[in-house]
Structure 1
Amino acid sequence: MSFEVLEQLEARVQSAVDGITLLKMELDELRAQNQQLKEENQHLRNEHQAWQERLRSLLGKMDQMNSEG
């Protein structure tokens, strides 16, 4: 009887180890994806900043033209 209990325990432990291994792999993938999204977010923020600067420049030129005319 105790041998069967040990086999069941071993199977449960192995199942838990397998589950933990899969979760670690998933965590690594999610961390990599998160890093990629952070980099993409920073890139988009930089682009947004550049467009804002361009827009300010154009508006400044338009104001200058209006004040001259």
Structure 2
Amino acid sequence: MTFELLEKLENKINQAVETIALLQMEIEELKEDKANLSGKTEQLQSDNDRLNEEHQQWQDRLSALVGKIEQAEENAE
């Protein structure tokens, strides 16, 4: 009876060790994924900042042009 209990315990320990090893591999993969996503996030934030700046520049230029058109219309009257 004691031998059977030891075998069952050994099997459970082996299963636990295998499960731990698999979980550790998953953790490493998740860490790599996180690092990749962090890099992509930084790149996207940089792109977003640049595009917002370009958008503001275009708005400023368009406002200036509209102002010139309005001024020209006033002068034409």
Structure-1 residue corresponding to 2:23 = 16
Q: 1:6 aligns with which of 4, 7, 13?
A: 13
Aligned mate of 1:50, from 34, 51, 57: 57
Moved over 6 A (4+): none
TM-score, normalised to structure 1, is 0.94
Q: CA separation in 2, counterparts of 1:17 and 1:29?
A: 19
| RMSD value, Cα | 0.8
TM-score, normalising length: structure 2: 0.85
Calculate percent identity across the aligned residue pairs. Answer: 29
**Equivalent residue pairs, number:** 69
